Structure 1
């Protein structure tokens, strides 16, 4: 009995070397085009974000989304690994360098130098938006536990005033409340005035606090809300605040509260030319809103004439905003 050998399978002709090279070259060209098409416009739009027109709220959204543009950079790096061309290098380096220039210095950890400052020469401030559902007594107690000398609260409703007074008045015997904002102080408040900042109602305070190392001019603000296509009143408030601070001749100034604007928002630029915000002690952006998964830093402490020794984001304690606590050395 004979056994027939199985029929041989047809062999595929090997692909030519030239065809493979052409395919690889095409992939690399497309990757290079993609890197340049994404990276270069991203760099230009980031560097000149204040020039992006605010049509349908595009400018507002882009300004406040800028810190998150870094998520595109790892993708461009992978594209560079595929392309391996000078064009792809440009597509990655351009937005990387712009992002690093704009945001790199601000995310470096500042550290904690509070222990090197005598108590009488130190000032600690805390600020938080109570939010629509936050327990005012719990939030106030949390800020008090931080050791703050000044506590600023925003979005205060009439029914919040009694629990806030019951929690804070014993350790902070000096206070002023105007509209939806309030300031509690361990030290005497020599003078205070409500600020409308271009609107028809009060959403800010300016008070002069007499600390053991001299007077400090303190502003507390709850800026109007900002949504795409609906942020004109917020812009007016921030512009008026910048002008008010610029006209303030006192050596030491604190401006804190809920600004409804991140640090890259063009509406804050004028104020940032008058006062500065310290880096976070542990680095990063110090995001404060929304409380569950913070995506933006809407709450700030800006200063002039003082040296920061500590700056950190605290717990939300039921608010939709995290609180912030900052300490400063009162330079004479």
Structure 2
């Protein structure tokens, strides 16, 4: 009996890993499953233990199959080291937490060595905005999102990504090595029953990126879409994920106490990521995503 259970479960795990994008979107359940894909690897040691207990070679081989699939999908993430080298622009994004009374402390620690910081779930005139205004000469807030920069900001534009109100922005940053177009977005949530609105806001984001002729482009923000969520296929490509290109590990950002997924992203084109990672954000349920880029 144990042998059959191990073989059947091993096959199911391998199928979910390899064929997750073929699973129909079921009321928001599928994005949750895809967000947790990297964690499914923990089932392999349990399956192997079951195979050993069953004293079955067939079960052992079956248990190794999802391990091989997982390694093919995520192994490079664990062994990759950042390319490093010189960088011209250090950027970050953080969901500061709308009820976070310590948001000023959070952004102070994150932004200290950055050239650009995008923030989401801002309270207009709240502690995060006040602190960032002291640290950066240039800023452009729109509703609950904002961009702070050490370099001049121009061509600013509030954006609605299908939510009925502006929760995104576009701006152009003039760096010593040229202009960079920056989008800051806080997309709709992907909670069960709300996947359709998240997918619609992702489609809006893709249209904006496709229509933008800028040579160098950054998209920063809380996209409410995990790196392994099929929804990211609409943005990567055409954009590159800084964490995947230059990160050390998965770079999970949520929840901050024990991160299991990454809804916060730094995506780009026309540049090269040299480093990427995460940083703590005091009082927020998110950690910040940070990256260094070469123009």
Residues 217 and 282 of structure 1, relative CA distance in 2, 3 Å threshold: closer
Which residue of 2 is the match for residue 97 of structure 1? 68
Q: How much does 1:86 deviate? A: 4.8
| Matches of 1:279 and 1:54, distance apart in 2 | 26
TM-score normalized with structure 1 length: 0.82
Q: How much does 1:91 deviate? A: 1.6
Q: How much does 1:166 deviate? A: 3.7
TM-score normalized with structure 2 length: 0.91
Kept in 2, the 8 Å contact 1:195–1:205? The answer is yes
Q: Does 1:124 align with 2:95?
A: no
Residues 288 and 41 of structure 1, relative CA distance in 2, 3 Å threshold: same
Which residue of 1 is the match for residue 33 of structure 2? 62
CA RMSD of aligned residues (A): 2.0
Which residue of 2 is the match for residue 233 of structure 1? 197
Residues 305 and 110 of structure 1, relative CA distance in 2, 3 Å threshold: farther
Which residue of 1 is the match for residue 107 of structure 2? 140
User: Aligned ranges for residues 252-331 of structure 1 at < 5 Å?
Assistant: 252-279=216-243, 283-330=248-295
Which residue of 1 is the match for residue 124 of structure 2? 158
Q: Which ranges in structure 2 are unaligned for 5 or more consecutive residues? A: none
Q: How much does 1:159 deviate? A: 4.2
Structure having greater relative contact order (Cα 8 Å, sep ≥ 6): 2
| Matches of 1:269 and 1:303, distance apart in 2 | 14
| Matches of 1:40 and 1:238, distance apart in 2 | 32
Which residue of 1 is the match for residue 44 of structure 2? 73
Which residue of 1 is the match for residue 24 of structure 2? 53
What is the number of equivalent residue pairs in this alignment?
A: 293
Q: Which ranges in structure 1 are unaligned for 5 or more consecutive residues? A: 1-29
Residues 165 and 179 of structure 1, relative CA distance in 2, 3 Å threshold: closer
Kept in 2, the 8 Å contact 1:288–1:296? The answer is yes
Kept in 2, the 8 Å contact 1:275–1:302? The answer is yes
Kept in 1, the 8 Å contact 2:248–2:276? The answer is no
| Matches of 1:104 and 1:55, distance apart in 2 | 28
1:228-252 Cα shifts (integer Å, max 9, x gaps): 1222211111121122212222222
Q: Does 1:107 align with 2:104?
A: no
Q: How much does 1:167 deviate? A: 2.2
